[in-house]
């Protein structure tokens, strides 16, 4: 096949492809590019990690502790489905020792860039460590990438992350593995907290309606029915038929609250509220949930545990259940 640029690509895609090619070429041709281990020995003792989303970055920080320096590309309120990498992002990837991303096309427009850069860098799609029989697929066979919504499932990624870091810094193997086990224990506690909290919602009210279909793992793990206006990706359009289906559901089942998402515009939720009102049923916004991005780094929701504890508390309180603050056991008392 001739080495030509496909003319049917968008200008953005062409720019990214050219930028990746040039940056890889420069990196590969430089006489000053030491090996990965040698680069760490010269520049710093810590592992330079590039992570895409906050949910991924937070796991790495838990496992790596003071031995990692994590650069997170996508911050609070950023939709990973629509994120477009720029030249600085690509350079950050090339400057890192290892790259972790979620996978299964969560990082939609960035996935091809990561695949191209994998020839120069160790690039890990962490969600692919989950057994296939634990994955959720839509009717078209597309894997649902929102695995972190099941806290227990997400905790299974901590040991594989430890093993990847050990490959770069084997002297810290014990520390990484101990950190991973401690983090797994804390997430298991939060998972049980979630099961107990959701169970306090009256069964007839256990219905979670959100902006897009990001909560299927949450629904399976915590026994609550879920429905999204848009599909697995926010790139999909919300059709009038889907809006009408959900309005019918809200009105006929007398659903009292629906939820906006921090990284998705609320216009479709507003359409549901207006549609239900036209059917003489008043439904309120139960609160803001964190789906594809965590909260601001200075907030409680700026960590994975804080994000999920917030989601659980918001859902339970808005749908008629009762919940206390999540207080994990102090590992030093065990």
pLDDT, mean of residues 76-80? 92
Residue 56, phi-psi category: left (phi > 0), alpha (psi -120 to 50), beta (remainder)? alpha
pLDDT, mean of residues 171-177? 98
Higher pLDDT, 195 or 297: 195
pLDDT digit string, tens, across residues 95-123:
999 999 999 999 998 998 898 888 888 99
Inform me whether the pLDDT recorded for 138 exceeds 90. no
Backbone angles phi, psi at 71, to 5 degrees: -100, 125
Question: Burial of 127 by CB count in 10 Å (0-12 exposed, 13-18 middle, 19+ buried)?
Answer: buried
SS3 81: coil
Sheet holding 47-51, edge to edge: 68-72, 47-51, 98-101, 122-125
What pLDDT, on the 0 to 100 scale, is given for residue 333?
A: 54
What pLDDT, on the 0 to 100 scale, is given for residue 236?
A: 62
Q: What is the DSSP letter of 102?
A: -
SS3 85: coil
Residue (of 298, 320, 291, 302) closest to 148 by Cα position: 291
- Hunting for tokens 């949450």 — which residue is that? 218
**What Å distances lie between residue 244 and 229, 250, 251, 273, CA to CA?**
10, 10, 11, 11
pLDDT, mean of residues 222-245? 82
Burial annotation 187-198 (CB, 10 A radius, 16+ → b, else e): bebbbebbeebb
What pLDDT, on the 0 to 100 scale, is given for residue 334?
A: 56
Q: CA 144, CA 112: separation in Å to the nearest integer?
A: 18
What pLDDT, on the 0 to 100 scale, is given for residue 117?
A: 87
State the CATH architecture for 11-191: 3-Layer(aba) Sandwich (3.40)
What pLDDT, on the 0 to 100 scale, is given for residue 234?
A: 65
pLDDT band with cut points at 50, 70 and 90 for residue 332: low
Domain ranges of the chain: 11-191, 199-323
Inform me whether the pLDDT recorded for 148 exceeds 80. yes
Inform me whether the pLDDT recorded for 27 exceeds 50. no
CATH superfamily label, 199-323: Nitrogenase molybdenum iron protein domain (3.40.50.1980)
pLDDT, mean of residues 76-82? 92
Q: CA 311, CA 305: separation in Å to the nearest integer?
A: 10
SS3 250: helix
What pLDDT, on the 0 to 100 scale, is given for residue 140?
A: 87
- Domains 11-191 and 199-323 agree in fold: yes
What pLDDT, on the 0 to 100 scale, is given for residue 278?
A: 96
Least confident of 18-32, 129-143, 204-218, 220-234: 18-32
Residue 128 in contact with residue 79, Cβ under 8 Å?
A: no
Q: CA 93, CA 110: separation in Å to the nearest integer?
A: 12
pLDDT band with cut points at 50, 70 and 90 for residue 237: low
Inform me whether the pLDDT recorded for 86 exceeds 80. yes
Q: CA 314, CA 288: separation in Å to the nearest integer?
A: 8
SS3 109: helix
What element of type H or E holds 24? helix 11-29
pLDDT digit string, tens, across residues 6-21:
334 444 444 444 444 4
pLDDT digit string, tens, across residues 244-275:
999 999 999 999 999 999 888 888 999 999 99
């Amino acid at each position: 096949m001739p080495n030509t640029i496909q003319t049917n690509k968008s200008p953005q895609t062409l720019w990214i492809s050219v930028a990746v090619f040039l940056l890889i070429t420069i990196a590969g041709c430089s006489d000053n590019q030491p090996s990965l281990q040698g680069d760490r020995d010269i520049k710093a003792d810590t592992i330079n990690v590039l992570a895409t989303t906050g949910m991924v970055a937070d796991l790495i920080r838990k496992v790596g502790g003071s031995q990692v320096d994590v650069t997170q590309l996508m911050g609070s309120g950023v939709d990973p489905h629509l994120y477009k990498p720029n030249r600085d992002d690509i350079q950050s990837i090339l400057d890192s020792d290892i790259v972790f991303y979620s996978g299964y096309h969560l990082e939609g427009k960035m996935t091809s860039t990561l695949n191209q850069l994998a020839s120069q860098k160790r690039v890990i799609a962490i969600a692919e460590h989950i057994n296939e029989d634990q994955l959720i697929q839509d009717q078209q066979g597309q894997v649902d990438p929102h695995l972190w919504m099941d806290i227990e499932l997400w905790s299974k990624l901590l040991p594989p992350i430890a093993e990847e870091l050990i490959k770069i810094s084997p002297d810290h193997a014990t520390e990484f593995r101990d950190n991973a086990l401690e983090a797994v224990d804390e997430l298991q506690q939060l998972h049980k907290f979630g099961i107990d909290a959701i169970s306090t919602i009256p069964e007839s009210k256990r219905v979670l309606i959100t902006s897009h279909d990001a909560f299927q793992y949450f629904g399976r793990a915590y026994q609550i029915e879920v429905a999204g206006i848009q599909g697995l990706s926010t790139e999909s359009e919300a059709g009038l038929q889907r809006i009408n289906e959900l309005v019918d559901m809200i009105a006929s089942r007398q659903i009292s609250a629906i939820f906006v998402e921090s990284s998705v515009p609320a216009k479709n939720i507003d359409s549901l509220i207006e549609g239900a009102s036209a059917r003489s049923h008043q439904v309120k916004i139960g609160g803001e949930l964190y789906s594809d991005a965590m909260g601001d780094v200075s907030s409680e929701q700026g960590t994975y545990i804080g994000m999920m504890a917030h989601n659980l508390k918001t859902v339970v309180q808005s749908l008629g259940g009762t919940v206390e603050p999540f207080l994990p056991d102090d590992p030093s008392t065990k």
